Amino acid sequence: MKVYQTNEIRNIALLGGAKSGKTTLAESMLFEGGIINRRGTIDDGNTVSDYREIELERGNSVSSTVMYTEFEGKKINIIDTPGFDDFVGEVVAALKVIEAGVVVVNAQNGVEVGTEIAWRNTAKSETPIIFAINHLEHENSNFDETIRQLKTQFGNNVTPCQIPVNVGLGFNSVVDLLQMKMFKFPENGGKPEILDIPANIKDKAEEMHAALLEELAAADEELMEIFFEKGALTEEQIAKGIKLGLISRTFFPVFCINAKQDMGVARLLQFIGDSVPAPNDAALHGMKTTEGKVLKCNSADPTVLFIFKTGMEQHLGEVVFFKVFAGEVTEGCDLYNSTTDTKERLTQLYVTFGKNREKVEKICAGDIGSTIKLKNSRTNTTITGLKNTGDVVEPIKFPASKIQLAVKAKNSADDEKLMVALLAKNRVDPTFTAEMSKELRQLIVGGQGELHLNIIKWQIENLDKVTYEFFSPKIPYRETITKKAKAMYRHKKQSGGSGQFGEVHMMIEPYTEGMSYATEFPIRGTDEYKMEWGGKLILNNCIVGGAIDARFIPAILKGIMEKMEEGPLTGSYARDVVVYIYDGKMHPVDSNELAFKLAGRNAFKLAFKDAGPKIMEPIYNVEVLVPEDKMGDVMTDLQGRRAVIMGMESEGNYQKLKAQVPLAEMGRYSTSLSSITSGRAMYSLEFAQYQQVPTDVQTKLLDEYKAQAADEE
């Protein structure tokens, strides 16, 4: 394969909703470039992109696929992304390494959830986009309505560069408003016949052509002056306006395609090759490092490559996909992992199209490649040619988990095997998390939605042969107190030989920041402990007259700490307590550290239960981006979850609803929200604070804990 230079490379992602035709479009793109000699179909299960077993079974993408095609002397790298928001991590990663997105829209359905999701993600990354309206050959296709919806949702800068002549059954012709010619395609697609525009639509085409030129001229003051003076632009000026408009996201061109029959695909590829900026285009901002340095995709600079995706392939193991942001890489070169400061050797270099790989000797700046058998370099890793350069590419910001569930292997003998499989999935998919919670004593997995977690479950059960079940996770409650209380406990045990004796008297009270400690006891020493789970423990030593030897105070503290970790009420962590050890008794022979640890533990437990104990629950900040027409339904649902609405604000055609909601009420919220809004809303969660639960909720929790404890006896 030819080694492509930076200015000959274009990097795009195919974006949009499920069933819009992204995978089919990718198939035609590869066919047009001669990478494949026969187009596969979703129905036949033989497409380049959707080759994984789960994708063949479902009939849609669940992971991004890296491909390339060659067209008119350029290499076009293509990343086909999933259409469901549950797999948004694949989209976010792809947007890190491309210069433009092609948003595929189904002309039968118009603007769908997937179209809106693609728009939001590209807006965040400031990625130029091209709209490709697909499925124009169907009876229910409506080009004009689709354009109206695109303009309504995304603004008047959505500009047709083509219009179909005969939408619906028998569709085979489009008018190209840039070239001002009609393209008429053969029955089975392919190279079109180029004709003059028919008289019956020529006036409309000329009017739209003039509007297109005005839109392009608006991208640059010089072009605008020329357009107003002459009423036209040259081909070179049009090309300049297109590129500037794309980069500034003030121009969103629309093309017409029938991806299944390869109609209009070659023209789309031609436009991508001519108009999408090359990775080293001077108008691009470049990729920033964590220290603010800008990498300009120059092959002459020291090598910097960034791993944006990790895949798992049968017979190969882990495959990493990278973009060269500076310099170049050659087969067998030694590089350095900037995170771990360890050496990595790229023993083999590949360019890929689906599961197929082609070996190459060199990859230049701006290009995308893959390799295998790296020791410890995976997604979000920067690898450099020189050691300790500090050139670390800003990492991909993957979205936090929106749903968490507890999991347990059906066969307890598979517990360790399940954990290994879950962690392997996390290496491949950073939006999936798995950890054993010490606090909850559960194995907790997190993801972007129930579909996301169910897909991973299918993969582990079918590929790793470990079956497991989902459960609602326990809530990490906290326990605290609201008033002062005193207690004493004497631990006495005699069983032949030396015995055990320790007596502790203590008082406890609630801790608040900046408080003054009680003065009824002389405080000889104060120690402050920040708890791992939040909050504090303040221990005041008020012993006088040697009632308890100072060497036993650490043992008493250990007993208190143990009980705070268990929680006197429900087994949840306790926090924010001030303890005063003010009296006690020792035995000259039988007193030891164990006796005082048990005495301190039990005295604390008794005092805690008399100190107005309260259960506290985690409260989360929730932001929901919701269409205006669904606002009332979403707000009603949140209020039914004990939410406190904090405010609302507009964001484009959406409303951003801000609320604080108890975590206990957010179970399966992703599914509920999707149902209420037909999948059109998005939300995020962030921990805010702990608050006391209402009395009725506390009573319910205490009853449940007692019942559980009785069952375990």
> Can you list the domains of the chain with their CATH numbers?
6-199+251-275 (3.40.50.300), 287-384 (2.40.30.10), 403-474 (3.30.70.870), 479-612 (3.30.230.10), 615-697 (3.30.70.240)
Task: Look up residue 622 and give its DSSP letter.
Answer: E
Q: Give the model's confidence band at 232: pLDDT under 50 very low, under 70 low, under 90 confident, else very high.
A: confident
Q: What six digits make up the tokens of 575?
A: 């926090």
How does strand 349-353 pair with strand 356-360? antiparallel
Q: Is the pLDDT of residue 710 over 80?
A: no
Q: Give the model's confidence band at 496: pLDDT under 50 very low, under 70 low, under 90 confident, else very high.
A: low
Q: Is the pLDDT of residue 360 over 80?
A: yes
**Which residues make Cβ contacts (< 8 Å) with residue 478, sequence separation at least 6?**
533, 534, 535, 572, 573, 574, 575, 615, 616, 617, 618, 690
- The secondary structure of 517-570, three-state, reads CCCCCCCCEEEEEECCCCCEEEEEECCCCCCCCHHHHHHHHHHHHHHHHHCCCC
pLDDT at residue 711 in the model: 65
Q: Give the model's confidence band at 57: pLDDT under 50 very low, under 70 low, under 90 confident, else very high.
A: confident
Q: Give the model's confidence band at 712: pLDDT under 50 very low, under 70 low, under 90 confident, else very high.
A: low
Task: Look up residue 296 and give its DSSP letter.
Answer: -
* pLDDT tens by residue, 515-542: 999 988 999 999 999 999 999 999 999 9
Q: Quick one: average pLDDT of 115-120?
A: 92
Q: Is the pLDDT of residue 713 over 90?
A: no
Q: What six digits make up the tokens of 625?
A: 């981006």
How does strand 9-15 pair with strand 74-80? parallel
Nearest CA to 18 among 59, 79, 51?
59
pLDDT at residue 201 in the model: 94
pLDDT at residue 249 in the model: 94
Higher pLDDT, 684 or 478: 478
Q: What six digits make up the tokens of 626?
A: 């919701």
**Which residues make Cβ contacts (< 8 Å) with residue 637, sequence separation at least 6?**
672, 673, 676
Q: Is the pLDDT of residue 94 over 80?
A: yes
* pLDDT tens by residue, 312-342: 887 778 899 999 999 999 998 999 998 888 8
**Which residues make Cβ contacts (< 8 Å) with residue 373, sequence separation at least 6?**
317, 318, 347, 348
Higher pLDDT, 466 or 655: 466
Q: Give the model's confidence band at 193: pLDDT under 50 very low, under 70 low, under 90 confident, else very high.
A: very high
pLDDT at residue 207 in the model: 94
pLDDT at residue 128 in the model: 96
Q: What is the rounded distance in angstroms from the CA atom of residue 335 to the CA atom of residue 304?
A: 9
- The pTM of the full predicted model, rounded to 2 decimals, is 0.88
Q: What is the rounded distance in angstroms from the CA atom of residue 258 to the CA atom of residue 28?
A: 10
Q: Is the pLDDT of residue 683 over 70?
A: yes
Q: What is the rounded distance in angstroms from the CA atom of residue 268 to the CA atom of residue 262?
A: 11
pLDDT at residue 312 in the model: 86
* pLDDT tens by residue, 10-46: 999 999 998 899 999 999 999 999 999 999 998 888 9
Q: Give the model's confidence band at 212: pLDDT under 50 very low, under 70 low, under 90 confident, else very high.
A: very high
Q: Quick one: average pLDDT of 654-659?
A: 91
Average pLDDT of the chain to the nearest whole number: 92
Assess contact for 361 and 349: CB atoms under 8 A.
yes
Q: Quick one: average pLDDT of 253-258?
A: 97
Q: Quick one: average pLDDT of 652-656?
A: 80
Supply angle C-alpha 161, 166, 170, rounded to 5: 125
Assess contact for 98 and 127: CB atoms under 8 A.
yes
Q: Give the model's confidence band at 605: pLDDT under 50 very low, under 70 low, under 90 confident, else very high.
A: very high
* pLDDT tens by residue, 132-172: 999 999 999 999 999 999 999 999 999 999 999 999 999 99
Q: What share of the chain is helix, strand, coil (3-state, %, to 5)?
A: 30, 30, 35
Nearest CA to 278 among 308, 247, 235, 232?
247
Nearest CA to 685 among 473, 399, 470?
399
